[in-house]
Structure 1
């Protein structure tokens, strides 16, 4: 079962308050500030009653550097839209904002904290905290707009990163209204009672401003007798003027209104089809306008990156072709793409800092599993440590199973590499998937010994775009290999465009045709943001998960689900764990190093846990601090100050190494994703030159002419101190089963 739909993509708009007009039978609208609100935005659709934006701990999205800050609270649920950033203004970083609120002076003139929502994959996600410095109102003909300045965005280039974002405020911070004033979302969904009889006749589904009055759109429900003599429910929509004489009672707490309609009002005041069509037309126009604003932001980012050739298809071709390109452009995280292109270049690799030392300190020996198999067979119920079992290993193992039994562990399997992109009927891939499910089942059964009840370990399967449907169908056909459907979830790994191999370093996004960008999975490190953006991470937090184990499907998984890992992390109060070995082994690997300062000279937002914050620790951006990093042997800078001698240890880390992260730290990493370091891999592909106007044909020459941009999970080591990293020694390469 997927949980990708659990996060709402639409925030409620901060609609104007409604006022009773006591002097007339018809209500009048008192403008809070901007008169055009009622004509351009007020004809209410259900968007005014849309569910508030759920904070998807989520977040790292296409967010500029100045906005990647940690939110003040983890339980902020409701936000409302108050403005849409349309464009930049001038050269000093001002942004032009379209108001969506009746309190623009309060929202746009008063300095302080605001929140920004960003669109990713067609969904509004966020929010992210930002500080408003000042704002002022301007007139453009008959319309008005607001010019805002945010902290950290003091130039046109920086401010352009925010174009297309939505300004949000917390629902709790709405102005307090008088007793006779109501926000539109307050009324939506209220039951409608007849005052005299107390009978419920329907509910409020919308509110419409006809220019001179506010009208409640009420969905009536009543019984009628059909041709067969049976009764059935019929629904009808009617308009009811929102005035004291007709709506004398509005009960906020009990969520109902009582009405005393004039005789014949409910029978005669049914809406015609024309107003409904008009509302749908206006709703479509609003959606189109919003999409145009988002595309305007995309265009500016594309032009700033000098990739204007990918926009050529928007001006030619059939409508479906242009729409397909537009949707692909809206789904690209351009901040991540820009970072990937910068850090994967040869110039960047050659400029890596020199203060890198291979980690050579002694770490605890490998866990000793001698005798464990026999012990489990002979005394599976008692869980007592026998003489034949290493006491330290047993203690960590049992502690880890206790965490599993308490529902604090989730498993994330990464089916995102060559296996997922190759022939999907490969029996090896299906076998690995079955083995992984078997490991989860085995750990559930062991945890049952601790709690007496078998826990359901959440299992998240992350797939490439091309293999998502196949993997889901395979698991469904195999009944999830014995696991419960409710514990299996799916996430798609986000893609990044391929770029050209240019010896001059001028990388260009590659196009398969004028309307199709060549893209591929952005590496296992992308899963950190994808878990957040999909809403799965937030759902796991609600389940009480504390640790998430990420493992690749491309390697033997026999040691991946050792419950002792979680015991070690809890015992050491670590936020990340990784397996290392001093033994030589075949395969792609890196050297575990200590880096003083950030890898690229940029500051890092160091992770501070909630308990440390409570003790007075402060989160800060630090330019010079020590952290672990994994360096490939051929990427080691010539000037690196290696301190190892031939007989000293050098810990090696497999390129597809498994990681275990605390949920709190994974959230922090998601916010920092635009500081990740990327690698590139040469791929064989065919593409058209920017000047070509034909679709790639069957006779195109396919050669190694493209770079696939990837980030690895090793980025997880760059944002915390070495004391927060649990290094698990795997020298003996013991296979836990």
Structure 2
């Protein structure tokens, strides 16, 4: 989803977060309360901890409704990570059909028959139990639950035997009377059941899911009931209890200090089922005591107050829009010889197909086709123009040289006197809110520590924190009354961390209604060697994932255009916009820099520092120039930068892993200086 055209609180649009695994409906889940998981001591720490990283992506827990299922399950906690049923990658959940009265109430679900195996009537079963050997190896009576004409029917069958199929995470079973493929097909889609009374005894600290449903949730410190357990979800490292909070005149007081009463429609929150947070579980009295970190219960309350019907309608509209977008892009990809990308849509798990569909729908075809037109201009990374190359073509009267000491601390007396007028002009622009700031996170820094679950930040976010903190101190010292607009361009996997950083630090003094958080533009990586049609194919990390990389600093122009942010800045009277990468010398809204650009009346100002790398930028645009540049994105010049990437290829109808020993792909890169007119540029050179 894309951010909205104007700034809103707290963010332009819901961030593109990946959903948590779908809960096992109402199931018999063997839960082991974790006692070793490090538990956050504050709401801000919990915000980072609860969004665990998996496969390099930040994943947060969405707030789900109460499970609609009626059957019981014996689910194996962290062992089961696949959806129980497949389907089209964009299908919505089916509505719950009518269930026969009393059907299945005495049974436990232990598996789902997913497909036929071989030619002798055997079937494959996806287990949903912590005791697969007990349920699938021992012959004897079992039951099959099948939905027919909207009603569920249960019938007895005799299990003849089974064996594990570890490569597919399934079990292969055979039943008496099911000896042919046609007979096996008739039971595909059925649920395998055992008697509820046949549950194995559990050890201390282990619980079945139904034993937790409906339990009272009580704050251990105050003894007050705050809610009721309505669902349980497994998330690999631990389980999550979904708690419906009690209400007090339609609201909730997280510390339990006011009288509350049970409600059938209270807010839903997630509580980690770990010993540090849920120390006491009393099965006999149907209650549990919790010691949540400060702010936990308030932190993840659903902010969406729309009804379930309204949310479902909105989800349907979004799904329909995505489907239409995917259909359009699929057609275009086929026309330009990239049909191999579409193969993953025809097989694989539902979540894999959906991931690919979302990636396809998000491809910026306009930029991709423009970049492919420039693909013949293959330059090494050191060859595309950088800041230092700009200085040589700028008229001398538009160049100002200053030392680091004077620029950073203003301790150089003679230069301070010389540039007093520039500082005064810059201070005036800041105090009158005539300046906007754009900060760009470096994707390389953000990936350095992305694999660690316990990390609460990354180098890129830490740089952002330091820059914003230093700026807030500078604003406080100079007593600027007005707040400047702030735009942050972030890699996808850093969006949540950036949001938490701003929320935890009260936006560092910025007006939250003038803050935008945007996702950086990315394009697929293509191979170096063209095919027979002289086309460079998109590389795939897996059959369901394209390799994509940021297009570089010039991507900010397209982001500003597509989200109509330039129009918003013009409406609030902005005269200058600074675009700055988070390098060591990043100083947002420096009055001397602003005063110099304003005094020269140039369209663009560039700051050059000793030792800065080619991809580091610090540029100020006059709004009249920025408005013009954002309308000329079709003139962006892309460079094909050779890089080395592992990928998969389809060889003889089999996917093969390719590990190259030399550059095998092009990253489509667009520097920021291609659209600039050197006749109307001023330069500030900060040297040692």
TM-score interval, smaller chain: 0.3 to 0.5
Task: Give me the TM-score of the superposition, normalised by structure 1.
Answer: 0.44
Task: Give me the TM-score of the superposition, normalised by structure 2.
Answer: 0.47
